[in-house]
């Protein structure tokens, strides 16, 4: 497999990263995940704006984001994935330096890595819906940065897998924030409800698209946190993400969402979302 590493296209086996890399030592870095179809990326601008913002928020501004953007297009061709569905992972860390917490001056050269893989959409799950669990949101107070420091997310997703569930819906101070690797959206009395964009959630590209689709379909939207106590009253529930798509949630822990099948608003939004072309 050919990957992009610090400006070059190389075989993945030939990549070597220093044990002093601050990504390894401190999880001092950010990442981005995109989806492509037939060589075109979905929401490419939004993803790269978010990546630039994440870098900016952690003061890692020496990265040539335009070059990375160009590179991932080439990477599809290098891996013969230009004619199919693919997912793209990009990771940037602050680079290698002797271990000390403070960012060294001058800062080291960042480590920039990107990889592509075939993507298989979860068609059966989209059709039937999935189970989720509730889990405490144990993450930090800057979840708006797409940080590679994901231990609380790893723990939450692992708890979900052990419960035979697809996702862990995170609860902070009695309110749903998002899920371990996706956005949470509820439908209450025909209104789509999701957490506002704050430091407690990632500004999801799929969330942005879905809210646009709600506008186009005259579906009312409220951007307010959903109280955990109100969740069993949801008429519909879904989780959203770049590889997750618009995923119906039909069971949470041991209770079912409404009648336990994907609801009509979820179905409409799912169909509208799937009809979107890469842009
Ligand atoms: C915590 C979290 N929320 C939401 C999302 C969805 O973001 P996007 O729609 O941009 O993929 C992700 C995706 O990885 C995520 O990790």
pLDDT digits 0-9 by tens, 70-113 = 999 999 999 999 999 999 999 999 999 999 999 999 999 999 99
Asked, as a colleague might, if the bond just before 153 is cis with ω within 30 of 0, I would say: no
Tell whether the model's pLDDT for residue 37 goes beyond 80.
yes
Tell whether the model's pLDDT for residue 279 goes beyond 80.
no
Q: Are residues 166 and 85 in the same domain?
A: no
pLDDT digits 0-9 by tens, 181-207 = 999 999 999 999 999 999 999 999 999
Q: How far is CA 38 from CA 45, 114, 117, in A?
A: 17, 18, 13
- The CATH code of the domain that includes 106 is 3.30.470.10
Choosing from 83, 118, 153, the residue where a domain stops is 118
Count other Cβ atoms within 10 Å, centred on residue 123.
10
Q: Are residues 140 and 261 in the same domain?
A: yes
In a domain, 279, yes or no: no
| Cβ–ligand 1 contact at 178 (below 6 Å) | yes
How many Cα atoms within 13 Å fall on the side-chain side of residue 123? 2
Q: Are residues 41 and 137 in the same domain?
A: no
Query: Which of the residues are catalytic?
Result: 146
- The whole-number pLDDT of residue 17 equals 98
Could you list the residue range(s) of the whole structural domain that residue 139 is in? 123-274
Q: What is the Cα–Cα distance from 123 to 247, expressed in whole angstroms?
A: 10
The alpha carbon of 156 and the centre of ligand 1 are apart by a number of angstroms equal to: 14
Q: Are residues 190 and 136 in the same domain?
A: yes
Tally of structural domains, the chain: 2
| Cβ–ligand 1 contact at 115 (below 6 Å) | no
Q: For residues 250 and 202, is the Cβ–Cβ distance under 8 A?
A: no
Q: Among residues 126, 84, 92, which one has the least CA distance to residue 109?
A: 92
Q: Are residues 128 and 13 in the same domain?
A: no
Q: Are residues 143 and 67 in the same domain?
A: no
The alpha carbon of 174 and the centre of ligand 1 are apart by a number of angstroms equal to: 21
pLDDT digits 0-9 by tens, 5-23 = 999 999 999 999 999 999 9
- The CATH code of the domain that includes 153 is 3.20.10.10
| Cβ–ligand 1 contact at 266 (below 6 Å) | no
């Amino acid at each position: 497999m050919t990957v992009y590493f610090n400006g070059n296209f190389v075989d993945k086996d030939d990549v070597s990263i220093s044990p002093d890399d601050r990504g390894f030592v401190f999880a001092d870095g950010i990442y981005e995940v995109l989806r492509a179809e037939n060589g075109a990326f979905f929401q490419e601008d939004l993803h790269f704006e978010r990546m630039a913002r994440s870098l900016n928020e952690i003061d890692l501004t020496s990265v040539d984001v335009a070059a990375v953007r160009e590179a991932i297009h080439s990477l599809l061709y290098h891996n013969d994935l230009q004619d199919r569905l693919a997912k793209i992972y990009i990771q940037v860390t602050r680079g290698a330096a002797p271990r000390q917490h403070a960012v060294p001056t001058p800062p080291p050269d960042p480590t920039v890595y990107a990889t592509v893989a075939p993507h298989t959409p979860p068609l059966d799950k989209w059709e039937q819906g999935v189970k989720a669990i509730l889990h405490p949101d144990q993450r930090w107070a800057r979840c708006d940065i797409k940080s590679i420091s994901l231990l609380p997310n790893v723990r939450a997703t692992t708890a979900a897998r052990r419960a035979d569930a697809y996702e862990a819906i995170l609860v902070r101070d009695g309110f749903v924030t998002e899920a371990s690797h996706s956005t949470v959206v509820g439908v209450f009395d025909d209104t789509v409800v999701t957490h506002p964009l704050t430091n407690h959630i990632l500004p999801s590209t799929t969330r942005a698209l879905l809210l646009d689709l709600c506008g186009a379909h005259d579906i009312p939207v409220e951007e307010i946190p959903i109280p955990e106590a109100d969740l069993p009253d949801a008429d519909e529930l879904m989780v959203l993400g770049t590889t997750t798509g618009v995923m119906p949630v039909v069971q949470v822990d041991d209770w079912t969402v409404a009648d336990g099948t994907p609801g009509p608003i979820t179905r409409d939004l799912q169909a509208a979302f799937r009809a979107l072309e890469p842009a």
